[in-house]
Amino acid sequence: MLNEYDISALLVTIKLASVTTAILILIGTPIAWWLSQTRFKFKAVIEAIIALPLILPPTVLGFYLLMTLGTNGPLGNLLESLGGSSIAFTFTGLVVGSVIYSLPFVVQPLQNAFSSVGKQAMEVAATLGASKLDRFFTVAVPLARSGFITATVLGFAHTVGEFGVVLMIGGNIPGETGVLSIAIYDHVESMEYAQAHLLAGGLLVLSFIMLLIVYVFNRRFSIMRSDS
Amino acid sequence: MIECKIKIKLDSFILDANFSIPDRGVTVIFGPSGSGKTTLLRALAGLEENQNGYLKMGDSIWQDGENFVLTHKRRIGYVFQDAALFDHLNVQDNLDYGIKRSPNIEKAFIESIINLLDIKILLNRTTSQLSGGERQRIAIARALLIKPKILLMDEPLSALDMKRKQEILPYLDALHNDLDIPVIYVTHSAEEASRLADHLLLLDNGKVIGSGPINTMLTRFDLPMSHGKEATSLIDAIVVGREKEFDLMQLDFPGGQFTVPDNSLEVNSSVRLRVSARDVSLTKEKQIGTSILNIFPAIVDELSVEGGAQIMVRLKIKEVTLLALITRKSAEMLNLQNGVKVFAQIKSVAILS
C-alpha cells in the first residue's frame, strides 16, 4: 500500500490545494467582481493576463517564477534584504506558484456567475436600503453560489494536478514540497508501476468526483432558476 | 413639491427633464416607447449614472451641484417592470430584506400592507411558485414595507396579460385610496393613466411636453390626447344613492348628478367616470322626452376643428371640463362660439374604479 513517502506527498498536496484555493477565493472574488462590473478600457488586457496560465506551458511559468522568487531574482533579493529568505523550494513558494497557475480557473467561473447576477437585482437591493458592500454579500454572492462551487472545485482540482510549476519551483523536498503528481513521476521512473497505479488511479477518481459535484450542483441551480 | 431639472445623455438620446409635480397623489409619466419614461424614473431613484442636475423631494434635496444622495439612502419604493424578486430568497425573506434595513417598521404596519395586497397565504412560498400577478403584488408590498417617502412604479402591469392586469388594478386603486405617499407611475397605456392618475406628466422624445391635473391635460387642445375619436374626459364623482327599482345609482360631481347603472359600489365611495367625446351631444334647449338620463347645462369653452367633418368642443359644466366631438355642420347650426350656453347630453359613461 502507500509508503511513508506517498502519504507525505498526499498530505502536502491536500494542504497545498486547500491553502491555494482559500487564497484564490479571497483574491479571485474581488478581481472577478471588478471584471464583471467595470467598463475599463483595457479590461481585455487584464482578462488576457489572468487567462495566460490556461495556455502557457507550466514549465514556462515555473521558470519565470523561479527567476523572480529565487535567491538571485528581484523578489528573492528583496525578501533577503528584509531579513527573510528566498521562498523558492519552500511550501510558501509552491503556494505562490499555484495561486498564479490556478487563478483563471477561479476568476473565470466567478466572473461569469457575477455577470449573470445582472444589474437589476443589485438595483433592487439598493432601493431596499442596502449599501454597496451589503448588497454584494446579500445578493451578488448568494446568486453567484454556483460560480463559487465551480471555482472552488476547479481551483482545488487544478492545483492537485499541477506538475510543471511544482517541479520548477518546489524541488520535490519530501514533507515540504513533494506533491502527488511528482511522486507518481518518481514511481514510474523507478519502475514501481503498482505504486504509480495506486496514486494515479486515486487522482483520477478524485478528479472525477469533484467535477461530478460541479455539474450536479450547477444543474440543480439552473433548474431552480429556469422554474421561476 | 417634487422639483426636477435633470439632464442625462445616453448614446444617442438626451433626456432633458425640467418639471415640478405635487408630492401627493398619483403622477403618471406618460409617453410613447422610447420617450425616456423609464430613464426619468430611474434618475429619480438615483439609479442612472452620467446625470447631472437638481432634484428636490419635499424638504430634502437629493441632488444638486455637489451632492448626490445614493439610492440606498433615499428611501424610495421602486417597483420594476418584471417584479424582480430575489430568487435566492423565499417570499417572506424578500419582504424582510427591506424591512430589516429600515428603521421603525411596526408589526401593525406590516400586517396592514400584507392585508392590503392580500398576500398572507403566499408568504411561505418560493418565488418560483408564484404567478406573474402574485409576483408583482409581492414586489409592490416589498417596496411599500420600507415606508418609502415616494413609490416609483415602472410599468408594473406591462408584463402581465389582460386577466392578471385586472387582478392587480384593484390593489393599485387601494394604494391610491388608502396610502398617503406620493406615487410616480410610468406607463404607455392610456387606460392605466386615466384610471390611476391625479396628475399627468407627458414625455416625448426626452422632453416634458406638458404637466398638469389629468383631466386638464386630456382636454388641452395643444396636446395630442384631446384630438381624434379616442379623446375622452374624466370626471371624479362620489356615490350618493341608488334607485333599486331600476338598478341605477346616483353620483355627485361638482357639476351636478349622474345616474348610471349600479355596479354595487358602496355609498360614499369615490369613482372616476370616463366620458368619450363621441358620446357627448349638444343641444341649445334642454330636451324633454329623451331617453338620455344625464343632461347638464354647459358653457362652450373652446372649439377645435378636427379636419374632415368634425369639430371638438371643450365644455365647462361649472368647473368640470368635458369634451364633445360633433360635426362641423351641427356646430354651425347651433351657432357654437366661445361662451355660448348649451346642454350636454351624455349617452354613456364608463366607470373606471
Nearest CA in chain A to B46: A127
pLDDT for the residue B310? 93
Q: B302-338: per-residue pLDDT in tens?
A: 999 988 899 999 999 999 999 999 999 999 999 999 9
CB contact residues (below 8 A), chain B span 69-88, against chain A = 70-72, 75-78, 80, 84, 86-88
Buried b (16+ CB within 10 A) or exposed e, B282-299: beeeeeeeeeeebbbebe
- Report the chain A residue with the minimal C-alpha distance to residue B80: A124
pLDDT band at residue B129 using 50, 70 and 90 as cut-offs: very high
Contact B101 A129 (CB under 8 A): yes
pLDDT in tens, A136-181: 999 999 999 989 999 999 999 999 888 888 888 887 788 788 888 8
Contacts of B291 (CB under 8 A, 6+ apart): none
The reported pLDDT for the residue numbered A221 is 60
What pLDDT does A215 receive? 84
Please say if the pLDDT value at position A227 is more than 80.
Answer: no
Please report the pLDDT score of residue A228 as a whole number. Answer: 35
A-chain residue closest to B143, CA distance: A128
- What is the tens place of the pLDDT at every residue in B136-195? 999 999 999 999 999 999 998 887 777 778 878 888 887 777 778 899 999 988 888 998
B211-247 confidence digits (pLDDT tens): 999 999 999 999 988 998 889 999 999 999 999 999 9
Cα separation, B333 vs B340, whole angstroms: 13
Q: Say which amino acid occupies B88.
A: H
pLDDT above 60 (res B101): yes
Which residue, among B72, B75, B76, B147, would best test binding to A if mutated, counting the most A CBs under 10 Å from its CB?
B72
Of the candidates A127, A139, A227, the beta carbon closest to that of B86 is on A139
Mean pLDDT of B279-295: 91
The model's confidence at residue A222, banded by pLDDT at 50, 70 and 90, is: low
The residues spanned by each domain of chain A are 4-115+144-227
Report residue B251 CA to chain centroid gap: 21
- pLDDT (average), residues B25-50: 90
CB contact under 8 A, B47 and A126: yes
| Contact: A124, B80; criterion CB under 8 Å | yes
Nearest chain B residue to A222 by CA distance is B87
CATH 1.10.3720.10 applies to domain A4-115+144-227: yes
pLDDT at res. B72: 93
Average the pLDDT over B256-262 and give the result: 93
| Contact across the interface for A143 and B88, Cβ inside 8 Å | yes
Query: How far are the Cα atoms of A46, A49, A108, B190, B326 from residue A41, in angstroms, in the given order?
Result: 10, 15, 19, 43, 62
Contacts of B80 in chain A (CB under 8 A): 120, 123-124
Determine whether the interchain pair A228/B87 forms a contact, defined as Cβ–Cβ distance below 8 Å. yes
Question: Which cell is B67 given?
Answer: 451632492
- Decide if B344 contacts B316 (C-beta within 8 A): no
Looking at every residue in chain B, the average pLDDT score rounds to 91
**Sign (positive or negative) of CA dihedral B131, B137, B140, B141:** negative
Domains annotated for chain B, with CATH where assigned, are 2-218 (3.40.50.300), 232-351 (2.40.50.100)
Interface touch A127/B127, C-beta < 8 Å: no
Neighbours of A3 (CB within 10 A): 12
CB contact under 8 A, B71 and A127: yes
Chain A contacts of B47, Cβ < 8 Å? 123, 126-127
Query: Across the interface, do B87 and A224 touch by the CB < 8 Å criterion?
Result: yes
Q: Looking at residue B233, what is its pLDDT? A: 95
A128 and B101: CB-CB below 8 Å? Answer: yes
Write B12-18 long-range contacts (CB < 8 A, 24+): B13/B39, B13/B206, B14/B206, B15/B39, B15/B40, B15/B43, B15/B206, B16/B206, B16/B207, B17/B43, B17/B203, B17/B206, B17/B207, B17/B208, B18/B208
Count how many pairs of residues, chain A against chain B, have C-beta atoms within 8 Å: 63
Chain B residue numbers touching A146 (CB-CB < 8 A): none
Q: Write a three-state SS string for B230-256.
A: CCEEEEEEEEEEEEHHHCEEEEEECCE
CB contacts, 8 Å: B94 with chain A? none
Task: Please tell me the distance in Å from B1's CA to the nearest CA on chain A.
Answer: 21
B72/A129 touch (CB, cutoff 8 Å), yes or no: yes
Residues of A in contact with B77 (CB under 8 A): 127
Q: In angstroms, rounded to a whole number, what is the distance separating the alpha carbons of residues A41 and A47?
A: 12
> Could you read off the pLDDT of A107-125 as tens digits, one per residue?
999 999 999 998 999 999 9
Q: Which residues contact A188 (CB under 8 A, 6 or more apart)?
A: A196
Within 8 A of A134 by CB-CB distance, chain B residues are 72, 101
* Helix, strand or coil, per DSSP, at residue B80: coil
- What are the pLDDT digits (tens) for A172-187? 788 788 888 888 888 9
Instruction: Calculate mean pLDDT across residues A32-40.
Output: 92
Give me the helices (H) in B11-86, please: 37-45, 71-74
CA–CA separation, B259 and B250 (whole Å): 5
Q: What is d(CA A115, CA A119) in angstroms, rounded to the nearest whole number?
A: 8
Q: Which of B80, B98, B128 sits opposite A228 (nearest CB)?
A: B128
Q: For the segment B109-118, what is each residue's pLDDT rounded down to a tens digit?
A: 999 899 888 8
How far apart are the C-alpha atoms of B62 and A202, rounded to whole Å? 62
Instruction: Search chain B and give the residue with CA nearest A123.
Output: B47
Instruction: Supply the pLDDT for residue A5.
Output: 84
Q: Residues of chain B with pLDDT > 70: what percent?
A: 100
Q: Compare CB distances from B84 to A124, A138, A143 and report the shortest one's residue.
A: A124
Helices (H) then strands (E): counts for chain A: 11, 0
- The reported pLDDT for the residue numbered A39 is 87
The values of phi and psi at residue B36, to 5°, are 105, 15
Containing H/E element for B178?
Answer: helix B162-178
Nearest CA in chain A to B152: A127
Which chain B positions have a beta carbon within 8 Å of A118's beta carbon? none
Strands (E) in A128-193, as ranges, are: none
Q: Summarize pLDDT for A46-94 with one digit per residue, the tens.
A: 999 999 998 988 889 888 888 888 777 777 777 777 777 777 788 888 8
Going from the C-alpha of B251 to that of each of B136, B201, B241, B336, the distances in angstroms are 33, 28, 7, 29
| Nearest-CB residue to B97 (from A128, A145, A228) | A128
> Which residue of A38, A117, A128, A131 is the best one to mutate when testing the B interface, meaning the one whose CB has the most B CBs within 10 A?
A128
Which residue spans within chain B are E strands per DSSP? 2-10, 13-21, 26-30, 51-57, 60-63, 76-79, 150-154, 183-187, 199-204, 207-213, 232-243, 248-253, 256-261, 270-276, 280-283, 294-307, 310-317, 320-327, 341-346, 350-351
How would you list the strands of the sheet with B248-253, edge to edge? B256-261, B248-253, B232-243, B270-276, B350-351
Residues 90-149 of B with CB under 8 A from A: 97-98, 101-102, 126-128, 142-143, 146
Of A127, A224, A225, the CB nearest to B78: A127
